[in-house]
Structure formats: structure tokens, C-alpha cells
Amino acid sequence: PGQTSIPAKAAVAWGPGEPLSVETIDVALPKAGEVLIRVVASGVCHTDAFTLSGDDPEGIFPAVLGHEGGGIVEMVGEGVTSVEPGDHVIPLYTAECGKCKFCLSGKTNLCQAVRETQGKGLMPDGTTRFSKDGEPIYHYMGCSTFSEYTVLPEISLAKVNKSAPLEEVCLLGCGVTTGMGAVLNTAKVSKGDTVAIFGLGGIGLSAIIGARMAGASRIIGIDINDSKFDLARQLGATDLVNPTEHDDPIEKVIIDMTDGGVDYSFECIGNVNVMRQALECCHKGWGESVIIGVAGAGQEISTRPFQLVTGRVWKGSAFGGVKGRSELPGIVEQYLNGEFGLQEFITHKMPLEDINHAFDLMHRGESIRSVIRL
Ligand code: NAD
Ligand code: AHE
Ligand code: ZN
Ligand code: ZN
């Protein structure tokens, strides 16, 4: 009674380039339309490292990072009807209000209902629920899953089957949904198509799963780190190429391997030079390249316009084009039905106290996904 906040252990990003600091913060109780979540597990995605590095134009500090989580509803604010305490949920960095121009367009998953405040590290009412000694700490991508407790708008939660282990399906909160969805929803790869996937981290490996599901005839995985190749092959890659082992530029290598280029390519790194290579290895007349990787402030892509004039198409994909509230529960069911795996992505599990180690492993290329247990 009268309580307005609860203490929570959280990894705080105090400033760009600094290690995260695990400490106790205050989490305010949910306001109208909001939900308090106890986070059970969170994957670490390269985008968390990207923002921590200071390269993200939207990066705000101090903040609680993390956006690939799974949790249990602890308390709901006034007017919340779609979830109740005890429900299992996956936080969504792309909300789904079902009412905005974007949601109603039928053309995109990029709901904008809360996007503006979310990009400022704030809840929709323009304030933050996190603080330490009375000083504000900001939200991140509307999720902030590197905290025992977090608050989200109701429209930013997908309610999922309670029998799905949250330590596994947390990966559907970003990485695996993103890679699979980019192939199946954004590119709409069809049976027999040829595919090239640049970067074989959590995103690229998930794109391989999507390509296999679509029935692609060739799935060419490309990475400068050979240690990613075994899992890529296991998931369905038919060819694996390390650009550093070829004298020719990688786009020429792929064109030569595929009689003129691939039907679809995916950039899963965030490197603008590779984005160009991924476009230019596409087949003349119809090849499509999808950008998934996130590039730093000030970086730009370029190619000869002739590449597009002659029929290649450049696209991008966010969260795999998936509408989280309406589609993610079904993807969790697909996982429970054994249609794809998640366990093989989890190379490390660790407590929140070791979270900086998870970032080190990612930077050294030694992990696919570290899952943090909260
Ligand atoms: P990751 O670090 O696990 O994987 C990146 C892979 O790229 C690594 O295996 C690395 O060896 C490889 N690589 C690096 N440079 C390369 C090069 N020049 N040629 C070939 N391979 C190279 O990262 P991740 O978590 O898989 O994320 C990948 C990218 O996707 C990041 O930029 C991330 O921010 C972005 N992302 C975007 C979305 C979205 O919705 N659009 C969602 C999640 C992640
Ligand atoms: N804030 C950055 C862009 C970051 C970005 O592109 N985010 C992806 C998700 S990455 C998940 O790991 C995305 O979905 N973007 C759509 C959106 O609405 O943010 C910048 O450049 O400002
Ligand atoms: Zn992510
Ligand atoms: Zn909307």
C-alpha cells in the first residue's frame, strides 16, 4: 500500500564505451496502459553492443539495455486488458497497436504508436520508470530486458504459450524472428531460389533457417570467421565461403558460383561495404538484396544506380517484418511443434553479474547468443 516503486537488479549503461554496471535501481509501478514484467531471461544481440559503443544516433545514457527477452507479467496498470499477472510475454521493440496508419496499412510491421517516445528512452507519457537515487535512467528500444523488472506499454507485449521455456523463446524477441522473417516475409523466398547470407551470427544463422523452410535450392553462407560454418551447415547452408580466402571480390565469387548471381541476398552484419557487395552479387534483372544489419551514425550505402536500373532491388527489414502481438505467439507454437530449433543458438548462459563477459564473447566472435538469466 502506498508503494510506488520496487528495487531491481539491473545492468546500467552509464555512458558509451563503458562496461555495464550491475546495480540495484528503482522501477516505478506501471501507469495506465502499462505492464510491469519480471524478466526471466534475455539474449544479448549485436544491436545492444552497437548502442553501447556510442555509434547509435538514438543511443541515450544512462540506460538499461537489452531487447531480446522473455518474462512474466507481475502487475498491470489501469485499463490493461490483454494480459494479466502470471502471463508469459515477449517484449516487443516494434509495438503493434492495431490502430495507427502503419498498422492499418497492411504494408508494414513498423507500428508508430509509441515509436517517438521509445526512441527517446521514455514511456509513451514522456517519462521514465527507471531511476537511481532519484536520478532518471532511460529505457532502451522500449524493452530494457537487462533488468529483473521492466515496464512496457501493453501494446509492446506478445503473450505466448506458458509451456515454452523463456530461456529459449527470448531469442524470438529479436534475433531468430528477424533472420527467419527477413527471408520469409520481406524477401518471400520461394522453393528453388538461390540465397546468399552475409554474416553468420544469430541473425544470419536464423536467415539460413528461413531459407531452408522456404525450400531454397542453394543457401550460401558468407563469413570471415570460419568457426561459424559448422552450425551454418547443420542448419541448412549448402555452401560456405570465407571472403578472406579468395583473391576475387566476394560479389564476383558468388556470381561465378551461381551462373550470374543469387535470387536473394541478406546483409546480417551492419557493414556498408558488405551491403554493396550483397546487392551486387544479386542476379541481373530480378535479384533482391535485403539489409538487416544496422550501421553506425554517419555511414551511408552506395552503388552504381545502373545496378538498380538493370533490375536488382534493394530492401530493408526490421524484426523480420513480423507484427509481434498477432504473429509472435504463432511462431512460439511453431517452435514448440519442432519446426525450427533455438537451443543450438545458445552458446552461453550466465547470470546478470557476468553480462560484460557476454559482450566480450560477442566481440571476439566466440558466441552466437549468450542468454542472461535474471
Ligand atoms: P553477430 O556479431 O553475432 O554476427 C555478425 C557476424 O558477421 C559475425 O559472425 C562476424 O564474423 C560476421 N562478419 C563481420 N564482418 C564481416 C564481413 N566483412 N564479411 C562477412 N562476415 C562478417 O551479430 P548479430 O547479432 O547476428 O547481428 C547482426 C547485425 O544485425 C547487427 O548489425 C545487428 O545490429 C543487426 N540486427 C538487425 C535487426 C533488424 O531488425 N534489422 C535485428 C537484429 C540485429
Ligand atoms: N537507432 C538506430 C537504428 C537501429 C535499428 O535499425 N534498429 C532495428 C532493430 S535492431 C534489433 O536488433 C529496427 O527495427 N529499426 C526500426 C525502428 O523503428 O527502430 C538509428 O540508426 O537511429
Ligand atoms: Zn536485436
Ligand atoms: Zn500501430
Is residue 348 pLDDT above 70, yes or no?
yes
**Is 307 a pocket residue for ligand 2 (Cβ < 6 Å)?**
no
Question: Averaged over 217-234, what is the pLDDT?
Answer: 98
In-domain check, residue 147: yes
221 lines ligand 1 (CB under 6 A): no
**pLDDT at residue 1 in the model:** 67
pLDDT mean over 53-79 = 98
Question: Domain containing 112 — which CATH number?
Answer: 3.90.180.10
- The residue out of 318, 334, 350 marking a domain boundary is 318
Task: Say yes or no to pLDDT of 99 above 70.
Answer: yes
362 lines ligand 1 (CB under 6 A): yes
Number of domains in the chain: 2
Instruction: Spot the catalytic one: 97, 218, 347, 348.
Output: 97
* pTM of the full structure: 0.98
List, as ranges, residues with CB under 5 A of the ion ligand 4.
97, 100, 103, 111, 113
57 lines ligand 2 (CB under 6 A): yes
Q: How many Å lie between the centroid of ligand 4 and the Cα of residue 36?
A: 21
Residues 102 and 224 in one domain: no
CATH of the domain at 218: 3.40.50.720
Answer yes or no: do 32 and 149 share one domain. Answer: yes
13 and 134 inside one domain = yes
Annotated catalytic, 97? yes
Which amino acid residue places its CA nearest to atom 16 of ligand 2?
318
Q: Is 67 a catalytic residue?
A: yes
Residues 168 and 194 both lie in one domain: no
Question: Are residues 276 and 196 both part of a single domain?
Answer: yes
pLDDT in tens, 38-51: 999 999 999 999 99
Same domain, 96 and 197: no
Residue ranges making up the domain that contains 89: 5-173+342-373
Q: What is the chain's mean pLDDT, rounded?
A: 98
Name the band, by pLDDT with cuts 50, 70 and 90, for residue 2: confident
Is position 335 within any domain? no
Q: What pLDDT is stored for residue 38 in this prediction?
A: 98
Of all atoms in ligand 1, which is nearest to the CA of residue 292?
41
Q: What digits encode the pLDDT tens for the residues 188-223?
A: 999 999 999 999 999 999 999 999 999 999 999 999
Is 271 inside a domain boundary?
yes
Do 157 and 243 have their domain in common?
no
Question: Same domain for 140 and 185?
Answer: no
Whether residue 124 is found in the same domain as residue 268: no
Same domain, 69 and 193: no
Looking at residue 128, its pLDDT comes to 98
pLDDT class of 86 with cuts at 50, 70, 90: very high
Is residue 326 in a domain? no
- Any catalytic annotation for residue 282? no
Q: Which of 18, 38, 108, 115 is catalytic?
A: 115
Q: Please name the amino acid found at residue 12.
A: V
Q: Are residues 18 and 48 in the same domain?
A: yes
- In the residue annotation, 46 being an active-site residue is answered as yes
Note whether residue 117 is domain-resident. Answer: yes
- Residue identified by cell 521514455 is 122
pLDDT digits (tens, 9 = 90+) for 103-156: 999 999 999 999 999 999 999 999 999 999 999 999 999 999 999 999 999 999
Q: How far is the centre of ligand 2, averaged over its atoms, from the C-alpha of 58 (Å)?
A: 9
What digits encode the pLDDT tens for the residues 296-320?
999 999 999 999 999 999 999 999 9
Q: Is the CB of 201 under 6 A from ligand 1?
A: yes
Report how far ligand 4's centroid is from the alpha carbon of 323 (Å): 10
Residue % of the chain over a pLDDT of 70: 100
Tell me, yes or no, whether 93 lies in a domain: yes
Asked if residue 155 is part of any domain, the answer here is yes
Decide if 325 is inside a domain.
no
- Regarding whether 153 and 53 lie in a shared domain, the answer is yes
